[in-house]
Structure 1
């Protein structure tokens, strides 16, 4: 993403029918992490990462670059490694001196923006949204099943997170098929034609422009600040610990789960309760596996313990909240350190570093039949 112009919002807000190109749309969490890291003597991020093994390097980099929004607990760990109060890492994006273009400068590659390609990315996002709006059968699950576009990729395309040339060949082919064109030339002609005819006017406003991104950033920073002040969130769906002989020894938690299509699990309450592991956080709950989506090692009759307050790490298991339910994934890392979630049935690979952290939870235990 190259640098644009404009105080705080990085671009003009589009009028009806115009294309809302926000050259800073990838920067959803501007912060003071880079500034504080250097002040603490960590010239390179890799040195700081070695002090925070619970946060993968790629995710730590994305947090510093403002490309993902951290959890309050992640911010606490980063601040502790820097000997800072967590609030010192936050920025006030409404402060008179804040300029998103100036803040983003160190993270840009220096190349001038290709405004035509940025504009086409927004139009493609609108065309895909319009296609889905016109066909109720094109659910997120159906697009993943029939066209091979994972939910996180679909979300990024529909929010114009990358220009068309930065998507791989497999995604290009899937888009041709989904939008019913033969090749890139036909795709560009169709998308620009739809815009020229006014067919995309109703959905262009759904793609966040600079003003909407600024408002969302403000809200996310406020949520993190509140989370830092409140500490641990209040328990959800937790049954009080049992007292045995006057001493607390067992905590029972609710079990959710019902099978859905494409390997998903609905968070439908069940009458079951299971014992929580001692390491489980206050919001932990049980989730019925329902089917062996990760292979025979985790049978469908098992119950896993999901901890929303713990972020998954490579080598473990995770639950990813999708539109209609939970998906269980084994977690690994590729050669670049990116965290990948894997499913065996259906076969999936999901880039977890690009997922909203509020949708991800670590599995901290399992109960087998």
Structure 2
């Protein structure tokens, strides 16, 4: 069952106290991005334990198969083919339409949850901490990926997990907690909690909260990726996705409906940031799925949160599948490191770039991959300066 609403008493810096509601900050199902029919069909086939199916599928490691069935990662088309073959069904049967009135996402997700109770306060604090780390980086240009790795001992994979509230503070080891305390310039864990809560009450974290924990973003991403899987498997998506700002917002992890998120938008307006920003567009297709960074006679609108070095890049070809068509233009931010579930640009040559989808491997390492051509790249082994996050996209 989903956690119930709760509040926590906190102490402010001057010794005063107050209450802070938490439930509105947390997408309790933020780690479930790929609901599917695998578990149901597996049990209908008499395979009550996942291990029984895994033994028939040696090409897919058990941990990877478990994450796919639990909806924690998106399956690749080839993996769905293998799983469907093991279950004796058409691969399309494994996919669900999350907008079908008969599909109950909460019921599906509830069946995949562990029995342990969820600490709503800690989940919410993880979101606030993620926003605080993002706020610190955006307000201090010196805190590049390289600096965080070298001076604070926060490697890119840990930074990505921190900035996306991958887990609660109590689940991080002492080394990581200490590094975060140094980054946020506080002395200990108690001071860290007070600092983050004070930031939240000033409104400084509001612009970042929608980027971290928003069910609308998660569901939008799920729609796009399931539609892409349907087409890759030879079928048509059940619902055509309109090439609108909503799709671009999904890729960017920005609010799909600003009216639903007044605190974040009010904060942006109060800071005088509500103006259109255009950036130059580059991109000419070359061999092996690469994109040459040659200027085009056009510009594209960038998110307000984009750094000064952001630029547009023509996708040129559907190297990541039909969910990101060749006609799209993505906005690339060299000052942001890609995060799990997002998109990235890898500089492979002096002026040639490759688009990648980003996820975690079964060993916890960050992996980037493309579909056309088929590439899988260990991101943790790459110089962070060669990687940039894609923060939005325009679909023509």
Give the TM-score taking structure 1 as reference length.
0.61
Return closer, same or farther for 1:195/1:254 CA change in 2, 3 Å cut-off: closer
Return closer, same or farther for 1:97/1:256 CA change in 2, 3 Å cut-off: closer
Pair member with larger Rg: 1
- Equivalent positions of 1:338-353 (< 5 A) are 339-340=362-363, 351-352=364-365
**How far 1:202 moved relative to its partner?**
2.1
Aligned counterpart, 1:188: 193
Tell me, in whole angstroms, the C-alpha distance in 1 between the residues paired with 2:102 and 2:291. Answer: 48
User: CA-to-partner distance for each residue in 1:123-175, whole Å, 9 max, x for gaps?
Assistant: 10110110111122323343233333332332222122211112222221221
Say which of 108, 111, 122 aligns to 1:106: 111
Matched, 1:123 2:123: no
Aligned counterpart, 1:28: 33
- Equivalent positions of 1:16-95 (< 5 A) are 19-95=24-100
Residue 127 of structure 2 contacts residue 213 of structure 2 at CA under 8 Å; is this kept in 1? no
Return closer, same or farther for 1:230/1:214 CA change in 2, 3 Å cut-off: closer
Structure 2 stretches lacking a partner, 5+ long: 6-21, 237-284, 293-318, 320-342, 349-360, 378-396
User: CA-to-partner distance for each residue in 1:262-317, whole Å, 9 max, x for gaps?
Assistant: xxxxxxxxxxxxxxxxxxxxx8xxxxxxxxxxxxxxxxxxxxxxxxxxxxxxxxxx
User: CA-to-partner distance for each residue in 1:190-215, whole Å, 9 max, x for gaps?
Assistant: 00000111111222222231122111
Return closer, same or farther for 1:224/1:127 CA change in 2, 3 Å cut-off: same
The DSSP-based 3-state class of the residue aligned with 1:106 is: helix
Matched, 1:149 2:154: yes
**How far 1:87 moved relative to its partner?**
0.7
Tell me, in whole angstroms, the C-alpha distance in 2 between the residues paired with 1:90 and 1:36. Answer: 11
Aligned counterpart, 1:286: none
Higher relative contact order (CA 8 A, sep 6+): 1
Residue 370 of structure 2 contacts residue 376 of structure 2 at CA under 8 Å; is this kept in 1? no
Return closer, same or farther for 1:213/1:4 CA change in 2, 3 Å cut-off: farther
Aligned counterpart, 1:199: 204
Aligned counterpart, 2:2: 3
Aligned counterpart, 2:256: none
Residue 4 of structure 1 contacts residue 101 of structure 1 at CA under 8 Å; is this kept in 2? no
Moved more, 113-122 or 47-56: 47-56
Say which of 214, 222, 229 aligns to 2:219: 214
Moved more, 196-205 or 25-34: 196-205
Return closer, same or farther for 1:195/1:26 CA change in 2, 3 Å cut-off: same
Tell me, in whole angstroms, the C-alpha distance in 2 between the residues paired with 1:72 and 1:144. Answer: 35
Tell me, in whole angstroms, the C-alpha distance in 1 between the residues paired with 2:189 and 2:345. Answer: 30
The DSSP-based 3-state class of the residue aligned with 2:149 is: helix
Moved over 4 A (4+): 253-257, 321-326, 354-360
Aligned counterpart, 2:15: none
Aligned length: 256
**How far 1:4 moved relative to its partner?**
4.2
CA root-mean-square deviation: 3.5
Give the TM-score taking structure 2 as reference length.
0.57
**How far 1:98 moved relative to its partner?**
2.0
Residue 369 of structure 2 contacts residue 376 of structure 2 at CA under 8 Å; is this kept in 1? no
Residue 3 of structure 2 contacts residue 120 of structure 2 at CA under 8 Å; is this kept in 1? no
**How far 1:362 moved relative to its partner?**
4.2
Matched, 1:96 2:71: no
**How far 1:254 moved relative to its partner?**
8.5
Residue 29 of structure 1 contacts residue 67 of structure 1 at CA under 8 Å; is this kept in 2? yes
